[in-house]
Amino acid sequence: MDILSSSDDNYDYEPLSGYVQGGYHPVHLGDTFHNGRYTVIHKLGWGIRATVWLAKDARDEKKPRFVALKFFVADAEDGQNELDILQKFNQSAQENPLGHFLVPADNFKVDGPNGAHLVLVYDLVGPGPDELRSGAEGTDSFVWTHARNIGARVTRAVAALNEAGFVHADLGANSIAFALPELADVDESAIMDHLGMPAKRAVEKDADNVSLPRYVVASTSFKKYMLVRIERDAAQLPWQLKLTNLGKVFAVDAPSRAMRAPPELRPPEEVFNALSSGAVEQDWGHKANVWPLGCWLYELVAETSLFIPAYEGDMGGLCVQYVSRIGPLPDRWRQFWSDSKKEIKYRPFEQYIQSDWLDEYRGTTGDDLKDFCDLLRQALVSDPEQRATAKQLLEHAWFKL
pLDDT in tens, the chain (401 residues): 555 554 454 558 999 999 999 999 999 999 999 999 999 999 999 999 999 999 999 988 778 899 999 999 998 888 898 999 888 887 765 666 788 999 999 999 999 999 999 999 999 999 999 999 887 777 889 999 999 999 999 999 999 999 888 999 999 999 999 999 999 999 999 999 999 999 999 999 888 899 999 999 999 999 999 999 999 999 999 999 999 998 889 888 876 667 888 888 889 998 898 889 888 888 778 999 999 999 999 999 988 888 887 766 678 888 988 998 898 899 999 899 887 777 788 877 677 676 677 788 888 888 888 899 999 999 999 999 999 999 999 999 999 86
- The C-alpha angle with vertex 219 and arms to 36 and 129, in degrees rounded to 5, equals 110
Backbone angles phi, psi at 382, to 5 degrees: -60, -45
Q: Tell me the β-bridge partners of 33.
A: 38
- Predicted local confidence at residue 95, as pLDDT: 63
* Pairing status of strand 2-4 against strand 200-203: parallel
Ramachandran sector of residue 35 (left: φ over 0; alpha: ψ -120 to 50; beta: rest): left
- Predicted local confidence at residue 151, as pLDDT: 97
Q: What whole-number distance in Å separates Cα of residue 259 and Cα of residue 271?
A: 10
Signed CA dihedral, 82, 84, 88, 91: sign only: positive
Q: What whole-number distance in Å separates Cα of residue 67 and Cα of residue 272?
A: 42
Q: Which residues contact 374 (CB under 8 A, 6 or more apart)?
A: 396, 397, 398
Closest CA to 154 of 275, 234, 241, 39: 241
Ramachandran sector of residue 36 (left: φ over 0; alpha: ψ -120 to 50; beta: rest): left
Q: What whole-number distance in Å separates Cα of residue 220 and Cα of residue 62?
A: 27
* Pairing status of strand 65-72 against strand 38-47: unpaired
Q: Do 357 and 299 touch, CB atoms closer than 8 A?
A: no
- Predicted local confidence at residue 203, as pLDDT: 94
The 8-class DSSP code of residue 383 comes to: S
pTM, rounded to two decimals: 0.91
Q: Tell me the β-bridge partners of 118.
A: 109
DSSP three-state, residue 2: strand
- State the CB neighbour count (10 A cutoff) for residue 321: 15
Closest CA to 54 of 211, 186, 172: 186
CA dihedral 87, 92, 96, 102 (to 10 degrees): -30
Q: Which residues contact 255 (CB under 8 A, 6 or more apart)?
A: none
Q: Do 96 and 136 touch, CB atoms closer than 8 A?
A: no
Element (H, E) at 12: none
